[in-house]
Amino acid sequence: MSNLIVVGKLPDEVYLTCVNGYRGVQRMDINYPFEFYKTGHPIEVINAEYEILTETDPALHDIAFARKLRDFYNETFPSVDREIIEIVFDTFEPEYGKELLGFDIADLEYGYSNILNIILATCRLNKQKRTFDELDLICHELLITLNQYELFKTMNDAKYAQDKIETYLTKENRMAAHHKYYSVGIWTVE
């Protein structure tokens, strides 16, 4: 069963202004602009269907609906170019994926990425501040293993990084119990 996500640009967060080229899990997903709430706009219909399909699992499994959702959002909000990515666990093969972008460390339930939030943001922001601690050293070690999409080149690199980050966060008592991260392959669908 495929795990599809319709994603767009990076979130509008100040701490992410130092990130360029990241194409992993944590990009703007499907949102419901407040100005369309209870207006009868077609966005209500497609978002209702999306909410039903993702009620128990944040990924879509229907390629036809993923395409419909992407196309609708690209037409309605042309300033954000959305794409469909397929998330693949471990050594499984993609069902629809055409090009492997790389490997992310992702919490799929919340749509977070440890590459984006820890490795890229920490390295780039602390470089500007010129502060270095143990996490900086870990991030700098891992940063050189990222590809042009700011994802890991291999699953082994992603798993190694995941282990290093989780060991550090656990030691520092900063591991969030409600997050569960996986090393996953990120594939473009179209």
pLDDT digits (tens, 9 = 90+) for 61-111: 999 999 999 999 888 888 788 999 999 998 789 999 999 999 999 887 777
Name the nearest CA neighbour of 73 among 53, 46, 54. 46
pTM here? Answer: 0.86
Contacting residues for 155 by C-beta, under 8 A, at least 6 apart: 90, 91, 103, 183, 185
Residue 35 class from Cβ within 10 Å (0-12 exposed, 13-18 middle, 19+ buried)?
exposed
